[in-house]
Amino acid sequence: MDLDLWTEKYRPPTLSEIIGQEALIESFKKFVETRTVPHCLFAGPPGTSKTTAAMAMAKDLFGDSFERNFLELNASDERGIDVVRNQIKNFARTMPSGGAPFKILVLDEADHLTADAQHALRRTMESYAASCRMILICNYSSRIIPPIQSRCAIFRFSRLDDNDIGSRLKYIAKKEGVSLLEAGSNAILYLVEGDMRAAINLLQAASSTGQKINDEIVYSISGRANPEVVRKMLNEAQEGKYTESLDSLRNLICQQGVSPIDLVKQIHREIEGLNLDNRKRMDILNQTAEIEFRVGEGANGEIQISSLLARIGLGSDS
Identify the three-state secondary structure at position 78.
Answer: coil
Q: Tell me whether strands 132-138 and 103-108 are parallel, antiparallel or unpaired.
A: parallel
Q: What is the pLDDT of residue 276?
A: 81
How deeply is 152 buried, as exposed, middle or buried, from its count of CB atoms within 10 A (0-12, 13-18, 19+)? buried
Across the range 188-207, mean pLDDT stands at 90
Taking only the tens place, the pLDDT of each residue in 228-284 is: 999 999 999 988 898 999 999 999 998 888 899 999 999 998 888 788 888 888 888
**DSSP state, residue 168:** H
> Is the distance from CB of 261 to CB of 297 less than 8 angstroms?
no
Q: Range with the lowest mean pLDDT among 18-22, 81-85, 298-302?
A: 81-85
Calculate the average pLDDT of the chain: 86
Q: By percentage, how much of the chain surpasses pLDDT 90?
A: 31
Cα–Cα distance, 119 to 176 (Å, whole number)? 46
Closest CA to 268 of 216, 230, 235, 239: 230
The pLDDT, as a whole number, for residue 126 is 85
CATH number of 3-156: 3.40.50.300
Ranges of CATH 3.40.50.300 domains, the chain = 3-156
**What is the predicted pLDDT for the residue at 306?**
92
Q: CB 44: neighbour CB atoms within 10 A? A: 21
Alpha-carbon distances of 265 from 109, 227, 271, rounded to whole Å? 25, 11, 10
CA distances from 219 to 159, 196, 199, 268 (A): 22, 17, 13, 18
Our measurement of the distance from residue 308's CA atom to the centroid of its chain's CA atoms, rounded to an integer in Å, reads 29
Q: Among candidates 105, 104, 111, 107, which has minimal Cα distance to 44?
A: 111
Looking at domain 162-222, does it have CATH number 1.10.390.10? no
Task: Evaluate if residue 3 carries a pLDDT over 60.
Answer: no
Domain 227-314 has CATH 2.40.30.10: no
Kindly report, residue by residue over 131-154, the tens digit of the pLDDT: 899 999 999 888 999 999 999 999
Q: How far is CA 272 from CA 191, 203, 233, 285, 308, in A?
A: 17, 28, 14, 9, 15
pLDDT reading at 121 higher than 50: yes
pLDDT of residue 161 exceeding 50, the answer is yes
pLDDT for the residue numbered 80: 63
Tell me, what's the pLDDT at 5?
39
70-74: strand order across its sheet: 70-74, 103-108, 132-138, 40-43, 153-156
Q: Which residues of the chain are in CATH 1.20.272.10 domains?
A: 227-314
pLDDT in the model for residue 82: 67
Residue, of 188 and 85, whose pLDDT is higher: 188
pLDDT digits (tens, 9 = 90+) for 204-221: 999 988 888 998 899 988
In the chain, CATH 1.10.8.60 sits at 162-222
Question: What's the whole-number mean pLDDT along residues 41-63?
Answer: 89
User: Which DSSP symbol is given to 20?
Assistant: S
pLDDT at residue 293, as a whole number: 94
Q: How confident is the model at residue 2 (pLDDT cuts 50, 70, 90)?
A: very low
